[in-house]
Amino acid sequence: MSDLQFLMPEVLQGKGSIYNTMSALAREHGAADLAQGFPTIDGPKEVREYAAAQLLDGPQQYTDPRGIAPLRHALRDDAERRYGVALDPDLQITVTAGAQGALAGAVLGLLEPGDEVVFIEPFYNPVVPLARLSGATLKFVALRAPDFALQEDELLEQMSERTKLIVYNTPNNPSGHVFSRDELMMLARACERFDAYLIADEVYEHLVYPGHTHISALEIPELRDRSVVVSSFSKTFLMTGWRVGWALGAAPLVAGIRKFAELTNFCLPAFLCEGARFAVAELPPTYLQHFASEHLRKRDLLCNGLRDLGLNILVPQGTFFCSIDISDLVEDDDVRFCLRLAKDVGVAAVPMSLSWHKRREARHLIRLCFAKQDETLQQAIDAFAVWMDKR
């Protein structure tokens, strides 16, 4: 088995990423596309107008590779307001080409041959093959349905004196699990015991639903000198094509990410960074409140509609993804079922097992994105209803 076979099952060879594959099938068959994790509603018009004005009137040349100073200062102020932490915008904050740029910088800018990196899975798919390029040894700790809770003994089993990084994502894509303070303390104890560092992917930090609270690594005193938090303009402000992300945290770790970014894309367009600054610093607090409440409404629309059909829905604690347990529906694994689902049922979904290195952990789960128009969500519910009636 090749290193990457678990990311590209035999039935998908030559078809590109699973996300592109499923969206292409949705277009081909007129299916409701709940596969790719992007919204179908554009972000705030005032942010787009501000960025457009900056494109016409602002600087047109290279910008600071760290990110323009006004954006870094806005991110500093935001972190202090929300998490009570004072960051140096010159040393502890860097702007990247999306959150993916920061995560790539973390694994390729910080890992070396001989190091070990522990991924808490399910993971964000592109990061694992990038980590393999570093020459480091990859280890995995699985979160398992239905609660996806972290088990401290399983984490410690994968740690050693060679462990340099732990990489995790909260709120978690694709499971929707929101890490508790107790789970963050498990990570803190492991990092301290083995002198390791933590990369916290927190791009869905503003999508947490009632009964749960997002706990950032920045809030844990024991982690402040050992962690970097990665987040993004794109998801929070519903403009995924802008590709503006950032990394905040311990200065030595941020420096490694910054060096990788400087050697790859070098810098980001000034007008996009200005638009991101405007969004972070000048939109009223009501924007984030509406952002969360609207996605809660969409979550409930889709999850309740599918549950009423008799489907086994795993309702997320955060993110804009929910899951269906297909164990009792079909004998197919999740990949083959998703291919049939788009063609024969009329709904495009993503097989979740591709986010675990041992696919058997989640061959019974599929992921649906509900950051879509209500009409698309209802189209998916109706398509499932027809299919369930025929079974």
For the chain, the structural domain boundaries read: 5-42+286-390, 46-282
Average pLDDT, the chain: 92
pLDDT of residue 15: 54
User: What is the Cα–Cα distance from 109 to 99, expressed in whole angstroms?
Assistant: 15
Superfamily (CATH H level) for 5-42+286-390:
Aspartate Aminotransferase, domain 1 (3.90.1150.10)
- Cβ atoms of 142 and 174 closer than 8 Å: no
Strand partners, 246: 95, 231
Q: Which pLDDT does position 8 carry in this prediction?
A: 45
State mean pLDDT over 101-108: 94
High-pLDDT (> 90) share of the chain, %:
80
pTM: 0.92
**Reported confidence tier of residue 156, pLDDT bands at 50, 70, 90:** very high
pLDDT at 10: 43
Dist CA 89 CA 92 (whole Å): 6
What is 46-282's CATH number? 3.40.640.10
Residue 9 confidence (pLDDT) above 80: no
For 208, which DSSP code? B
Checking if the pLDDT of 7 tops 80, the result is: no
> Tens of pLDDT along 23-58?
899 899 999 999 988 788 889 999 999 999 999 998
Whole-angstrom distance, CA of residue 95 vs CA of residue 258: 8
What is the rounded CA–CA span in Å between residue 49 and residue 35? 29
State how far the Cα of 294 lies from the Cα of 280, in Å rounded to an integer: 19
The three-state secondary structure class of 366 is strand
Our CA dihedral for 388, 360, 230, 59, rounded to 10 degrees, sits at -70
Average pLDDT over residues 341-361: 93
Give the DSSP letter of residue 136: P
pLDDT digits (tens, 9 = 90+) for 209-248: 999 999 999 999 999 999 999 999 988 998 888 899 999 9
Two structure tokens written together for 359: 């696919």
Residue 390 has pLDDT above 90, yes or no: no
Structure-model confidence comparison of residues 69 and 37, the more confident one: 69
Instruction: Quickly state the pLDDT bin for 4 (edges 50, 70, 90).
Output: very low
Please give the structure tokens belonging to residue 306.
């599918």
In this structure, what is the dihedral angle of CA atoms 359, 22, 122, 163, given to the nearest 10 degrees?
90
CA distances from 271 to 47, 161, 180, 242, 246 (A): 11, 44, 37, 10, 16
Q: For the segment 164-211, what is each residue's pLDDT rounded down to a tens digit?
A: 999 999 999 999 999 999 999 999 999 999 999 999 999 999 999 999
**Mean predicted confidence (pLDDT) in 290-314:** 97
Task: Work out the percent of the chain whose per-residue pLDDT is above 70.
Answer: 96
C-alpha distance from residue 137 to each of 44, 60, 355 (Å): 42, 42, 18
Give the lowest-confidence range in 25-39, 70-84, 129-143, 302-316.
Answer: 25-39
Cβ-proximal residues to 61 (8 Å cutoff; 6+ apart), any chain: none
**Given a cut of 70, is residue 344 above it in pLDDT?**
yes
Which is more confidently placed, 98 or 37? 98
